[in-house]
């Protein structure tokens, strides 16, 4: 799916919402050490535009402690459907990626047909790990939601 913005047009309506950690009541760091997706945040979002592409971007600072062979996943769900995900793998025997800045930013899209409220969640889990992911509830955590109606 692509959205083309060649020139200003009355055909498109847009709305952007930016939510910071405190807007989402995310005031304590999230610590995750589970092989099951665990919410970092979950909130109700009510779109304002119908027949709209919704683009969700999540920015976060985090750390995965430890070392060795690990892999971690993050995702965005909209109405319990995964709309975007990231994966990072660390391999101790051949070097390792940084243990931060790969699970985020995270993006996803959803096509919306109404203005019903939906649950938007940002989640994380490990694939194989004995370490803990800490996502910081600070001024680096943002969720940006852009609605584009045609």
Residues 6+ apart with CB under 8 A from 135: 29, 30, 32, 40, 60, 61, 62, 124, 141
d(CA 150, CA 117): 20
In this structure, is residue 5 part of a structural domain? no
Span 128-134, mean pLDDT? 90
Q: Supply the pTM of this predicted model.
A: 0.86
As for how many domains the chain has, the answer is 1
CATH of the domain at 95: 2.60.120.760
What is the dihedral sign for C-alpha 124, 125, 129, 130?
positive
In this structure, is residue 3 part of a structural domain? no
In this structure, is residue 56 part of a structural domain? yes
In this structure, is residue 142 part of a structural domain? yes
Range of the structural domain that residue 31 is part of? 13-149
In this structure, is residue 7 part of a structural domain? no
Checking if the pLDDT of 119 tops 80, the result is yes
pLDDT at 64: 87
In this structure, is residue 4 part of a structural domain? no
């Amino acid at each position: 799916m692509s959205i083309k913005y060649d020139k200003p047009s009355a055909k498109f309506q847009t709305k952007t919402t930016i939510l910071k950690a405190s807007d989402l009541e995310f005031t304590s760091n999230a610590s995750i050490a589970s092989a099951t997706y665990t919410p970092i945040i979950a909130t109700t979002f009510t779109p304002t535009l119908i027949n709209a592409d919704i683009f969700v971007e999540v920015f976060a600072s985090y750390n995965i402690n430890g070392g060795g062979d690990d892999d971690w996943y993050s995702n965005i769900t909209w109405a319990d459907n995964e709309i975007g995900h990231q994966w990072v793998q660390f391999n101790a025997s051949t070097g390792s990626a940084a243990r931060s800045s790969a699970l985020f930013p995270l993006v996803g899209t959803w096509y919306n047909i109404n203005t019903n409220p939906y649950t938007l969640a940002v989640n994380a889990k490990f694939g194989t790990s004995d370490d803990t992911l800490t996502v910081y509830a600070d001024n680096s955590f943002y969720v940006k939601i852009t609605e584009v109606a045609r």
